[in-house]
Structure 1
């Protein structure tokens, strides 16, 4: 029988190729085990670094793996931070990682196992991809191994083990590989694979969308500089088309982020956020304490832990190899493929340029005392506006050094492979370079946090998994510090111990993977108003106010963790919980007690009274802060979980009744109002009217306050404003007066004040948010102090004026104050104050008694 020698040769080559890939994969897997040791010993019940972000990301991956196959349309309506919407958009969606982990999740239902599987898979695929890229560029397997090792397990990547959305970059080198192949050789297969790997990497996190776009941009720009033939420009066009098609595929996942950005205040990374997490020159000398070589290194090195954004020191070996890759030029006797014209002109330079771009971007908006113009331009274009930590652009530096270092290995190896060199000297040199890089980058004995899984998870969560579609809240939360203002949309949430608070909230959402019930608790990169307001109110649980709030939200169960209650207060809380109307004990599960909330009635929309609060006069050219004063006139609490800002249209008429201007504004619907409570919904208008007197008609076309028409009057006239005041004076009194008696402290207490402007100066109640952050001079606010005798014993708080207040005008100011956590008789003292000019006008006070209960 005739033997097809060509077919046999192809089979041998194919077998050899698969054997090579298997060896490479095994090598990177072994390196992953060594560099992350002892994580492999706790693959199914431990996370590296800490139990904060890893558990959040394990929850995201598990939610994706579960929801994509059961209810993909509800992907972004995740189960935490109820009642907020699109909550998955508060973090990275990590859809690709969810898909890759889905088979393992559905087989084991172990989020920790899935998370660690992705970490190790990321190492192996990142190393393999960089290996194949460098073999393509240099024809050197050792260059591929060195580059793959550094890209997969560099010190920076190890420091990102807690941030899998930054650590996980397996498709980035594959994207570069197929882009390089397509630009060099063409072919539909290469173009499709380039677009596919671009899409896969960009869908791992929004960070990588920016990183991929910059990488592709650098490649195509460099290619364009040397393109002359029509077919070269055609390939550039096809590459751009592949990127465009990939971006189209991402639109459905971008829409929830755009919705959240439109309706939620502060849902964007500001320049000041970027400055706080930008790299500095010291960071490029920062090493891990677990680094085997640099652990005991002193000056000039600094230490940074796993999870830090600051561990940017790459090591001397990779820098030396990268320099060799750049500086070693071809000589006449050099015949190795790495010295070929195409790799030398079109392979290495784009990665050198990419490293420079990544380094520049890592410094964020500022380079010392000057603006970082490229970063600022990309920020204004929106490309990096979602990135909190510019130091993460170091991923591009790592990729650049990996590739340039691979070129260095290939060139040095080729130079030692000459007739005059001893036999095998090239292999000895290559092995020496690999060993040096391995030893310099090696990390060992990483901190690993054990996490309960399976039957080790507290019984209460497994019980919840059997309770159907119910909503829960887990209390108590860790104590909060003062937020200063409690009556604004941008309410602060300030735990006494940030790490304890957020670690505990993260653990709760991890536990939720064992029941998947909607829960008020949660942790993410963004905290919506509802979340901050509810957890602040919950400090007073089980007060009647908090019980009413939870009932209105449809909460069925309160999970109470006695381990978080101070020993000296356990008897007190035991009495309060079991004597509070509306609460019923369902059962005890070790340190957890489950209380069921009885259903309660809620106020209807027609029971809300709405009045327009606006300045009676406005200086020409000024915008005006106005507000809607909303009062719950019913006997039941009002709860509205609507996040969409609602529109109000204002029409200004002159004295003859002719239209003078139309302005539109938006306001946040009222969230929670106890019976009889009032709140203020602020909005800003700038009608641009000339001096004169005007009637104003305000219409609310839709929403919970829709169908209401309001009227007011406004005069536009020259008046000194409080940012350059003439005379500041005010009368102040507490509306309702009398003593306020509370059963227990903490939580929020509504108070209402009446303010009369007795000076000749227009009081500014607030500025545009960004302007006020830069310069709040002239903003008038209510300063509130809790006193015992003459001593201030609790946080100083602030109330926001309902609108700008003209001279002679009287307005009502409803506000929320936070009650001290201890029993006693207090005097709440309030006085107006102006930023930059200090307090002024009369004081007003009200007595508040926190009685507690007899034990």
Structure 2
């Protein structure tokens, strides 16, 4: 060891046992987890930490396993989020977690038990990884053991343990940083490969961590360069920079392989960039590091819940614990020194600032922060994939745990008797567990898969269906996660599927325009017996529109879930499922009181002309002055059904152009039914002269002579995948009648009368 490396090192107290066996530390951490999450251990084989993301995680792990056993590509699951398919790049990758699940599932078919093994391994990895790094930095086993305990049970880790199993695998970060520090301290081929393996481990723990780890790793390079003799700094830095390029070359192939799903998304125009509004929302407030979270003992002594009062979600909960805060304060005020102590203080401060998100708010004052600047850099694409900068808090917990461990190591030198040191360690560890514990730790059983799925698979094995209430692919409600997990069991084709990143092509095609979407079904009068509005479509009957929707997308069944929640899971509105079942009662082919299955083939074709937006439409956006609107591209398709070929029809669209005036034509095949000059100012209703369509289904196309690249309108339409031509508020297809020629008044009245929340 160089003089530089040894000068800041805390020496162990006289007589201290430096041979703490990792197995003993592992046993200590296991007991601490059991105590901090009691009574979860008693239901380890029957209940999950929650029914949201854990069910989605189980689907991902089962999908990997089935692809491995069946020799299939995991990049896209064609049966989930049918008919577009679910790209695996939209889900949390869960590489290391899936490996643990694969091993566990070889011994047990109990998915709950296997998931909870994955959960336990993640917490233990965080503790043991931090212990290994702290042991290297502090050269003090008791301080390292305490550091691992404080990181493992920290507020950031335990908060995410309820929902995000990938985010409790923080232990990959300290193991990588340990290898990286050793590599830069004394470069060599073996150490370079160890650092590369550490970075791959971080990436396999969580995609977020791969991006986050860049910052502490990058800081260590100039930190060490500055500490070199003045005349040696440039040579030292250039030498490490060359080795760092070798490190990058060694890691790149493995990273590309790990994130092949994300690469597939980019190549197919689904980059999955997160909206800036979400990034701005999910920072951690500075005070969250000091305030206990709901479920912890000390929170009960506060006069109110500051998180609830401030509207802070779990992403912003960052409490480090009394023991950590006191020991870190002592380390700072007492000038505790240890190996590279300045680096650890600088790293902790940097990560805290990044965790605060885009802005620091105090009353009406706003201070722009570095995370926001980085988010706006177009070339830093990995950072633009991040939704919650508050998750930097997970790395903060590791760094502050090391500072706390250093403070404890310095403090223990004052107690020369081993018995005193052991008793003090036991007391402070018990205090940390009691303070950080989530007791009672919430958990929920997985609801059994409805019998309706087995009935469908036996009677129509190749049929596809829509699970109702239908939700968009980014909806994290527990029932949407249940649809996802149940698909791994029934292996059928469903439009459902909750993925971490929204599947925009799926939602643009099937979600916003659905007659079964949850936002409409929550309305107390939906579905009405008269004419309704569906997305852009005005004045359409529910049964007519539902038939066209199911037929267009080759959906044989609608599976109506009469789910109202269960013990521990919370409840949600019945979404008008009973009203819908009553409206479609003549088409129900299965009903066990819990789930009713509607067979499209039992529905009568539409009795009135009806239209449905299908391919070529953009997303659903809430504009400040316009309400909810959708974007039309240069070619946007409309599906139609006309029951009476002898009666003239009229089509109307309420829209305005994007960018400049556009020529817009409505085409039936190659026949132009009408054309308009659509202006970019205010919305206008444009109508066709009367025209006829053949009996049955047909397709019309809205063709526009130009489009706008939405990159320059990112704040208004962030996440759009294609250039757009029009902003559209309403569509209507109706018989042309003398009483309402062109029905301009009818479509305007329908738009004005529609509730704002449903638009």
With the length of structure 2 as denominator, give the TM-score of the two structures: 0.71
How far off its partner does 1:160 sit?
Answer: 0.7
Give matches, 1:756-775, under 5 Å. Answer: 768=710, 771=713
- The answer to whether the 8 A contact 1:475-1:559 is kept is yes
RMSD of equivalent CA atoms: 5.3
- Structure 1 contact 46–451 (Cα < 8 Å) conserved: yes
The aligned counterpart of 2:586 is 578
1:476 to 455, 465, 468: 468
1:152 & 1:511 partners in 2: Cα distance?
Answer: 32
Aligned partner of 2:246 in structure 1 is 241
Q: What's 1:629 paired with?
A: none
> Is structure 2 residue 87 aligned with structure 1 residue 81?
no
User: Hey, what does 2:510 align to over in structure 1?
Assistant: 534
Residues 84-103 of structure 1 mapped to structure 2, 5 A cutoff: 84-103=84-103
User: Which is further off, 435-444 or 145-154?
Assistant: 435-444
Map 1:57-206 to 2 at 5 A.
57-77=57-77, 79-161=79-161, 162-206=163-207
1:210 matched residue in structure 2: 211
> CA–CA distance in 2 between the matches of 1:680 and 1:732?
5
Post-superposition Cα deviations, 1:233-253, rounded to whole Å, max 9, x if no partner, equal 545533443244323322245
State the Cα deviation string for residues 162-208 of structure 1 (Å, max 9, x = none). Answer: 12232222211111222233334555443323211211221332211
Greater helix fraction, Structure 1 or Structure 2: 2
Q: Aligned-pair distance for 1:519?
A: 1.1
Of 301, 307, 319, the match for 2:325: 319
Distance 1:570 1:709, change over 3 A: closer
The CA deviation string for residues 229-286 of structure 1, in whole angstroms up to 9 with x for no partner, is 8677545533443244323322245454355457668942233221111222343344
| Whole-angstrom distance in 2 between the partners of 1:678 and 1:158 | 56
CA distance in 1, matches of 2:436, 2:225: 36
Q: Hey, what's the Cα distance between the residues in 1 that align with 2:60 and 2:550?
A: 26
Distance 1:475 1:315, change over 3 A: closer
Cα displacement string for residues 630-660 of structure 1 (whole angstroms, at most 9, x for unaligned residues):
xxxxx99999768999xxxxxxxxxxxxxxx
User: Do the aligned partners of residues 19 and 319 (structure 1) sit closer, same or farther apart at CA in structure 2, a change above 3 Å counting?
Assistant: closer
1:367 counterpart (360, 365, 373) = 360
Q: Distance in 2 between matches of 1:158 and 1:672?
A: 49
| Structure 1 CA distance for aligned equivalents of residues 686 and 556 of structure 2 | 42
Secondary structure of the structure 2 residue equivalent to 1:298: coil
Bigger relative contact order (CA 8 A; separation at least 6): 2
Tell me the alpha carbon deviations over residues 20-71 of structure 1, each in whole angstroms, 9 at most, x when there is no partner. Answer: 12222121112122212222222233222x4222222222232233324434
In structure 1, the partner of 2:594 is 591
Match of 1:384 in 2: 383
Q: Distance in 1 between matches of 2:559 and 2:80?
A: 15
SS in 1 for 2:439: coil
Instruction: Tell me: CA distance 1:20–1:469, structure 2 relative to 1, closer, same or farther (3 Å).
Output: farther
How does 1:280-319 map onto structure 2 within 5 Å?
A: 280-298=285-303, 302=307, 308-319=314-325
Whole-Å Cα distance in 2 between the matches of residues 103 and 469 of structure 1? 31
CA deviations over 1:435-472 (Å, ceiling 9, x no partner): 333333233212212223xxx43333455666796353
Q: Is 1:405 aligned to 2:404, yes or no?
A: yes
CA distance in 2 between partners of 1:566 and 1:358 (Å): 43
The answer to whether the 8 A contact 1:471-1:519 is kept is no
Change over 3 Å in CA distance of 1:321–1:285 after alignment to 2:
closer
Distance 1:22 1:731 in 2: 73
Whether the 8 Å contact between 1:175 and 1:197 is mirrored in structure 2 is: yes
Partners of 1:143 and 1:406 within 8 A in 2:
yes
- Which digits, 9 at most, give the CA deviation of each residue in 1:282-341, with x for residues without a partner? 4334422221233333379656999712222212321222244455558xxxxxxxx6xx
* Matching residue of 2:481: 506
Q: Report the alpha carbon displacement of residue 530 of structure 1 after superposing the two structures with TM.
A: 3.4
The CA distance in 1 between the partners of 2:142 and 2:613, in whole Å, is 65
CA contact (8 A) 2:653 2:731 kept: no
Match of 2:452 among 457, 460, 469: 460
Q: Report the Cα distance in structure 1 between the residues aligned to 2:748 and 2:393, rounded to whole angstroms.
A: 55
The answer to whether the 8 Å contact 2:473/2:496 transfers is no
Counterpart contact for 1:324–1:408, Cα < 8 Å: yes
Alpha-carbon shift at residue 158 of structure 1 (Å) = 0.8
* Residue matched to 1:356: 349
Task: Tell whether the 8 Å contact from 1:462 to 1:514 is kept in structure 2 after alignment.
Answer: no
Contact kept, 8 Å, 1:67 with 1:75, in 2: the verdict is: no
C-alpha contact (below 8 Å) 2:324/2:404 kept by paired residues: yes
Pairs aligned (count) = 650
What secondary structure does 1:367 align onto? Answer: strand
Distance change >3 Å, CA 404–CA 844, structure 1 → 2: closer
Deviation of the 1:673 alpha carbon: 0.9
- Distance in 2 (CA, whole Å) between partners of 1:51 and 1:818 is 42
User: 1:611 maps to which residue?
Assistant: none
User: In the superposition, relative to structure 1, how do residues 436 and 575 fare at CA in structure 2: closer, same or farther (>3 Å)?
Assistant: closer
Deviation at 1:139, TM superposition (A): 2.0
Asked whether the 8 Å contact 2:94–2:205 carries over to 1, the reply is yes
Change (3 A) 1:136 1:293: same
Per-residue CA deviation, residues 784-817 of structure 1 (Å, 9 max, x unaligned), is xxxxxxxxxxxxxxxxx9759xxxxxxxx89337
Contact 1:285 1:300 in 2 (8 A): no
Judging changes above 3 Å, is the alpha-carbon distance between structure 1 residues 818 and 233 closer, same or farther for their aligned structure 2 residues?
farther
Cα distance in 2 between the residues matched to 1:416 and 1:166: 37
Aligned to 1:673: 639
Contact 2:637-2:701 within 8 A present in 1 as well: no
Q: What is the distance in 2 between the residues matched to 1:451 and 1:88? A: 23
Does structure 2 conserve the Cα–Cα contact (< 8 Å) formed by 1:35 and 1:444? yes
Cα deviation for residue 568 of structure 1 reads 9.5
State how far apart, in whole Å, the 1-side matches of 2:189 and 2:707 are.
62
Cα pair 1:354 1:396 within 8 Å, conserved: no
**Aligned counterpart, 2:283:** 278
Secondary structure at 1:370 match in 2: strand
CA spacing shift, 1:772–1:190, aligned 2, 3 Å: closer
1:7 corresponds to which residue?
none
Alpha-carbon distance change, 545 to 442 in structure 1, aligned in 2, over 3 angstroms: closer
Matches within 5 A, 1:773-784: none
The answer for the alignment partner of 1:650 in structure 2 is: none
Counterpart of 1:442 in structure 2 is: 437
Q: How far, CA to CA, are the matches of 1:170 and 1:683 in structure 2?
A: 53
- Cα 1:543–1:144 shift into 2, 3 Å: same
Q: Is the 8 A contact 2:611 2:639 kept in 1?
A: yes
**3-state SS of paired residue (1:113):** helix
Q: 2:469 and 2:634 mapped to 1: Cα distance? A: 26
Per the alignment, in what secondary structure is the counterpart of residue 203 of structure 1? helix
Q: Secondary structure at the match of 1:287?
A: coil
Q: Note the alpha carbon deviations across 1:726-768, whole angstroms, 9 max, x for none.
A: xx89787686599xxxxxxxxxxx9999xxxxxxxxxx99995
- Structure 2: any 5+ residue segments left out of the alignment? 1-16, 517-526, 528-540, 565-572, 620-630, 643-649, 693-698, 718-723, 735-739, 754-759
Structure 2 CA distance for partners of 1:636 and 1:18, relative to 1, 3 Å? farther
**Alpha-carbon offset, residue 475 of structure 1:** 4.1
Report if the CA contact (8 A) 1:416-1:426 is conserved: yes
For residue 555 of structure 1, what is the aligned residue in structure 2?
555
Distance in 1 of aligned mates of 2:240 and 2:726:
60
User: What is the match of residue 34 of structure 2?
Assistant: 33
Q: Tell me how far apart the structure 2 counterparts of residues 259 and 329 of structure 1 sit (CA, whole Å).
A: 51
> CA contact under 8 A between 1:130 and 1:147: conserved in structure 2?
yes
- Secondary structure of the residue aligned to 1:293 is helix
